[in-house]
Amino acid sequence: MSEFPLDNDGMPEGQRLQAGLEMSPRQAAEALRDEDFVLIDVRETDELAVAAIPGAVHIPLGQLKTRVHEIDADEDTPIGVLCHHGRRSFQATVYLQQEGLSGARSVAGGIELWSQTVDPSIPRY
């Protein structure tokens, strides 16, 4: 399914996850089966129209500070944060952790890597 060799976490070989800040798309997909896990998509609405993961809560990064109260999670609830490639989700993760949501993790590689390693039916853009 992937275009490149993957390590045990489902990440491209040589690309390491930042402990305490990131999770792989495979790890997020597994966690999504747990009813306590929250997946937040911080992409813009037009991006969501192209490719989306069912069950994700949509809060664009630019609205996160004013909408953080909408996240139904306790401080240690596992939260995955998703964007296109992982940059915006990393920013959002740092912010959420600063706000006390210590279970927040950026989905490394974003929906792009998700499409390549978890669900190829998700369109790439």
Q: Are 88 and 42 in contact (CB under 8 A)?
A: yes
Measure Cα distances from 116 to 47, 61, 112 in Å.
17, 23, 7
At residue 30, what is the residue type?
E
The verdict on whether 51 is a catalytic residue reads no
Number of H helices, E strands in the chain: 5, 5
Q: Report the C-alpha gap between 101 and 65 in whole angstroms.
A: 13
62-67: which pairs have CB atoms within 8 A and are 24 or more residues apart?
A: 64/92, 64/95, 64/96, 65/95
- Among 23, 83, 111, 113, the one annotated catalytic: 83
Q: Point out the residues that are catalytic.
A: 83
